Amino acid sequence: MGIVRNLCVLCASTFVESLDPSEMPGTASKAFGKIILFGEHAVVYGQPAIAIPVTEVQANVTVRALPGRNGNEIHIVARDIGIDGWWKELPSNSPLAATFALIKNHFKLDHLPAMEVNISSTIPLAAGMGSGAAITTAVFRAVTSFLGLKLDNTQLSGLVFEIERLYHGHPSGIDNTVIAQERPVYFIKGHPFKLISVGRQMIFLIAVSSKASRTIEVVEEVKNHLQRSPERIRSILESIGEITRHAKDLLSEGDTEGLGRLMDQNQVLLQELGVSSNELDDLITAARMSGAKGAKLSGAGKGGNIIALCDEPHERKIRAALADAGAVSVIKTILKVCA
């Protein structure tokens, strides 16, 4: 045991059935949070978006065998979200229950060996940081590794997407992609994603506002705006797409001044789209006034968080200004140089 196998689905079921629970070592896996840097909302309508992993926050999952218990007896402990119970007691459409069902079905297993799954997360909830997708990703990673099976990142992302549908209705797929890949991604719905190179290390501060963002509701509002004023809204979405395409090149060139300006321009368009709020605008102004190179809301908006591009000399001042302007927490993330 302890060897993770890349098996065909049929071999996987034979292999898992041959496992002896008393000899199955426990496993631990994690998945990072994420944040959208450019292109939210426009991505729902076919424009590109850029998302980056936030390695400073993560979902952690451990799995251990429960010898003596029957198959499919899975004890799930997720105290952050108030869950401490058995798989089969959860509503079948709950994302966690569905995750275990999907693992069982994907590998065509008769049953899952009895196990205890412990889930914890430092990713803020309903803040556009991919907490749902990260928890699902970490569960897939920890459980498949416990079973001695392997999923590549693309398979993993596809399976997480199935669960994301339960959280978000019609997700674009950006969360599962960036969280499974753990790299900045350039994403167009329905197209293969591209990994983005980063030409210079960059520091971002993410300020979480006191109001949660309700992605489904805000996406629905934008849809209604689009129906009422198709030309105006379509032109805003296309301009956001243009900014995102340009931002991809500036990230690769390491042009932080240019990127900051693009973040500010993207924010103006998000305001015109009606998805900002006084609270988010105050945080953005505070970041800019204290030296950020650029700042914008991130995710669905109307709550959630903002992201500011900083440099080291201004970092402390910006952090303090964000706290003064009402941030519930400030998370720093460093985007490292990558080819």
User: Could you give the residue numbers annotated as active site?
Assistant: 175
CB of 133 to ligand PMV, least distance (A): 9
Report which of 134, 92, 142 is spatially closest to residue 117, judged by C-alpha positions. Answer: 142
Residues in contact with ligand PMV by the rule CB under 6 A: 36, 40-41, 43-44, 128, 171-172, 174, 213, 215, 219, 299-300, 304
Token readout for 131 is 């907490």
Nearer to ligand PMV, 12 or 207 (CB): 207
Report which of 169, 195, 207, 209 is spatially closest to residue 44, judged by C-alpha positions. Answer: 169
Nearer to ligand PMV, 101 or 268 (CB): 268
CB of 274 to ligand PMV, least distance (A): 12
What torsion, rounded to 10 degrees, do the Cα atoms 203, 208, 209, 210 define?
A: -160
What torsion, rounded to 10 degrees, do the Cα atoms 211, 216, 221, 223 define?
A: 150
Nearer to ligand PMV, 36 or 142 (CB): 36
CB of 168 to ligand PMV, least distance (A): 6
Tell me if 328 sits within 8 A of 209, measured CB to CB. yes
- Residue ranges of the alpha helices (H) in the chain? 9-17, 95-106, 131-146, 153-168, 174-181, 215-228, 230-253, 256-273, 278-289, 312-324
Total residues belonging to the chain: 339
Nearer to ligand PMV, 145 or 215 (CB): 215
CB of 36 to ligand PMV, least distance (A): 6
Q: In sequence order, what E strands does 46-149 have?
A: 49-65, 74-78, 83-86, 115-121
Nearer to ligand PMV, 24 or 205 (CB): 205
How far apart CA 300 and CA 270 sit, in angstroms, is 10
CB of 126 to ligand PMV, least distance (A): 8
